Amino acid sequence: MPSLDNGGGGRSRELSAPRLRVDTPERAGLDPEETRLLVRDVADLTAGDRPWAPGAVVVAGRGPVIAVQEAVGWAVRYSAYDPKADAGVELPAARRVPTTVDTPFDLASLTKLFTSVAAVQQIERGTLGIDARVGAYLPDFRAAAAHDITVRQLLTHTSGLRPELPLYSYADDAERLDVLRAEAPVAEPGTYRYSDLNMLLLQHLLERLTGRTLDVLVHGGITRPLGMTATGFGPCPGAAATEDQRRPWGKADRGMLRGVVHDENAWALGGVAGHAGLFSTGRDLAVFCRTLLAGGSYGPARILGPDFVELLLTPPGLGFAVDQPWFMGELAGEGAAGHTGFTGTSLVLDPATDTFVVLLANTVHPVRRQPDSAPRALVATRMAMAVR
């Protein structure tokens, strides 16, 4: 039994929630033909000379059953990106690394979901007020305090803060912190504007409030009690490769990345950031999804009470996006929640049908391209069609 003394929300409960098991689509109440097509569609994403992603993992299920668990393509396919040819430099076949269902991926913005759960755990404990002013906890963050930005606004991306800042361009952490402290909203607070800065401020707030760093909060409050042993902040040496990150397409000259965070700001901040930095596997993220679908419990562990899971997932969602067809496809419409990550990741959980689908891919290997979420939406739609 995992330790539940985490200081962040994990608790025992009187009755254990069922753990995930691998079984057939029929046993999960899913159409086997649609799940077969789902796997085919994911495999197609990795085919050809210029695939959507070199490698991918899909894990999907209903209730406590994992009905789909497949890996396709390559975790490492290229040694570099050739900008003149606008193509990857292929590794010899013997040096390529195939994707497996246990391959960790850089989650990118899926990290925001874990930061959000860590915040709602503090709300449940009564140590954090959801409508409290950020300045009450971080008075030195002058601009946020002056504009009365609230915790809820950080969690719902309605603070008005710009999408990002070039923190990677500053010399040290002290300068980066000064920039964050002085950053004022560029839109009226209350206006939706997706921003990594919301989760960076939330990270600072949680760390100030608890006296623990974010990686410790996520481990103690979420991944350890749930037994998510493959989930954590990097480095993660066995992870799928991401980008040959160089200027001018990247924001830093770092070369081919594998096992270190892709996001330049998260990298500049030491790999632990509220908006990016986590690595995980499809199976671990299935546990995370199942926990939320079960009201915050998994096996003997409870990381949130049902009322606070409902708070997390009620539109517009706290950290989670709710009913967004652009990546949820036909699962959107009745309260489906989830998120995407820039590296090619996504997860969707649907309380109405008790289903989840996790797609992990390295779309930025060997180089970032114009984001395309149509494949994510297709996978979610296949899942919707598989529900009997």
pLDDT at 16: 80
CA angle, residues 276, 306, 308, in degrees to nearest 5: 50
pLDDT at 168: 97
pLDDT for 2 beyond 70: no
Is the dihedral angle over the CA atoms 229, 232, 238, 239 positive or is it negative? positive
174 occurs within a structural domain? no
Look over the chain and give the mean of its residue pLDDT values, rounded to a whole number: 95
Q: Whole domain around residue 233: which residue ranges?
A: 11-117+214-386
Contact present, 213 and 231 (Cβ < 8 Å): no
Q: Indicate the pTM of the whole model.
A: 0.95
How many domains are there within the chain? 1
Give the span between the Cα atoms of 25 and 65, in whole angstroms.
Answer: 8
Mean pLDDT of 328-354: 97
Q: Which two tokens stand for residue 244?
A: 């040959």
80 occurs within a structural domain? yes
198 occurs within a structural domain? no
CATH number (domain holding residue 257): 3.40.710.10
pLDDT at 15: 63
Percent of the chain with pLDDT over 70: 96
pLDDT at 118: 98
What is the DSSP-derived secondary structure letter of residue 190? T
Mean pLDDT of 279-295: 98
Mean pLDDT of 325-332: 98
Going from the C-alpha of 140 to that of each of 143, 144, 178, 181, 265, the distances in angstroms are 9, 9, 9, 7, 21
Mean pLDDT of 75-88: 97
pLDDT, tens digit, for every residue of 242-275?
999 999 999 999 999 999 999 999 999 999 999 9
pLDDT, tens digit, for every residue of 181-237?
999 999 999 999 999 999 999 999 999 999 999 999 999 999 999 999 999 999 999
Going from the C-alpha of 41 to that of each of 37, 116, 385, the distances in angstroms are 6, 31, 14
CA angle, residues 26, 320, 24, in degrees to nearest 5: 10
Helix ranges, the chain (H): 25-28, 32-45, 111-125, 134-137, 142-146, 151-155, 173-182, 196-210, 214-218, 224-226, 264-268, 282-293, 306-313, 325-328, 374-386
pLDDT for 292 beyond 70: yes
CA atoms within 13 A on the CB side of 56: 28
275 occurs within a structural domain? yes
179 occurs within a structural domain? no
Question: Using 50, 70 and 90 to split pLDDT, how confident is the model at 93?
Answer: very high
167 occurs within a structural domain? no
126 occurs within a structural domain? no
235 occurs within a structural domain? yes
Give the burial class of 211: count Cβ atoms within 10 A of its Cβ; 0-12 exposed, 13-18 middle, 19 or more buried: exposed
Would you mind telling me the total number of residues written for the chain in this entry? 388
pLDDT at 4: 27
pLDDT, tens digit, for every residue of 3-30?
223 334 444 434 688 999 999 999 999 9
